[in-house]
Amino acid sequence: MDDYNHERNEDQQRSSDPQQEPRTVNNYETETAPSEPMYRTQSTPPPPPPELPKRRGGFLPALFGAVLGGLLVWLLMYTVGGSDANKTAGTVKESGSSEQVSVDIDSDLTGVVEKSTDAVVGITNLQRGQDFWSQSETPQAIGTGSGVLYKKENGKAYIVTNHHVVEDAEELEVTLDDGTKIQGKLIGSDVWTDLAVVEIDDKDITSTMEFGDSDALKRGETVIAIGNPLGLGFSGSVTVGVVSGKDRSIPIDINKDGSIDWQADVLQTDAAINPGNSGGALINMAGQLIGINSMKITEETVEGIGLAIPINLALPVIEQLEETGEVNRPTMGVSLLDLRNIPVQQQSVLKLPEDVKNGVVVTEVFRNTPAQTAGVEKYDTIVEMDGKPIEDMVTLRKHLYNEKKVGDSMTMKVYRDGKAVTIDMVLKDGNSF
């Protein structure tokens, strides 16, 4: 039982299908060939130029011109080609009348991509729909996204992806980098962190990706995004960028009711991330998974702000989903409302001190819950948890979900009838009551 307004709408959120994805991208156009050729040919050849009169010249001027011309050609070739000591970027080979140029390139990037792409897959969300031809209910693709193979064990392989990629799926189809399609099974997903784990048979799996350390990343460090932007037609696409920022907090409206439900902690990168990249890999130059690509900012004035879930935050969620199919978070057993959303006229009922402007109001206490056991009452206004200020439901949830575990003790400061009250409680799993 989650501590948020229970009128939460369970509508499907961010689909990774370009036509369903709420995070839009700018349209692009392809240029067609002009209707008329750029160059026209003449129907008849042009007349020959008039014959110039012949001139007589001496031997010495001709010799001087030849020497000067040869010197200029030598200087030009030396300047362009450089000395042998400077020819580290490539070599030039003459072959007949043409030149064949071979250039040495930095192979680190291509090597990292080559060893990583097999571990990135496509995921198709299939839901029942009416087939046009047979008029029967058949699985139809609602959206496509990406996923990362991170583990093989006991004949099974495990994929981490986004919750919004697999949400409401009746069937999942996993497409490997070589085009092989395998039926996937959803093990569990978590709406708050936007993560999910999918299981497949490991018969055709050749490689998995190891986890890196997202805390060790530095701004400006090169990162690579691999996924399927705009669907499987662009599968295995690679974009390169840098870590633009760490520890970004992005407001998320999970139930699409116009109110912020969560602050997602993400990495910022300028590597291109588009619909279909969701759930794909953000890797470092060691080929390690350091983030799960999740979203991007698509305002008209914004360019190059992609966001990924840091792998260090994702790991505990991945492990719980793999083991139990869900994330067991501590809850109090109450229904809440932000103080700032209560009209001023109604706030008078709470009898709060004038300096209390932020907090969370308890609107209901459920039976047989930690809150009821601890003595929490309706209309208590929570302003602190474990000495940390609570301004709204987002900060309350982040303290519960990120700082506390099931079975932990917690101390709250609340205002009740205008007086400060301290409450101690032991947190429990919401599924236990």
| Catalytic positions, written as ranges | 164, 194, 278
Ordered DSSP codes for 291-353: EEEEEE---TT--S-EEEEEHHHHHHHHHHHHHHSS---EE--EEEEEGGGS-HHHHGGGT--
Q: Which two tokens stand for residue 299?
A: 């305002």
Chain centroid offset of residue 423 CA? 40
Question: Which residue is listed with tokens 């050609």?
Answer: 73
- Distance between CA atoms of 160 and 85, rounded to whole angstroms? 50
CB 422 within 8 A of CB 388: no
CA-CA distances (angstroms) from residue 416 to 160, 195, 349, 422?
45, 38, 10, 10
Whole-angstrom Cα distance, residue 224 to residue 243?
Answer: 10
Helix/strand/coil percentages in the chain, nearest 5: 20, 35, 45
CA atoms within 13 A on the CB side of 277: 27
d(CA 289, CA 310): 9
CA distances from 34 to 38, 39, 41, 42, 48 (A): 8, 11, 16, 20, 32
Per-position DSSP letters for 219-276, written without gaps between them: TT-EEEEEE-TTSGGGTTEEEEEEEEEEEEEEEE-TTSSSS--EEEEEEEE-S---TT
Strand duo 181-190 + 137-153: pairing? unpaired
422 burial (CB, 10 Å; 0-12 / 13-18 / 19+) is exposed
User: φ, ψ for residue 373 (rounded to 5)?
Assistant: -60, -35
Other CB atoms within 10 A of residue 414 CB:
23
d(CA 333, CA 376): 10
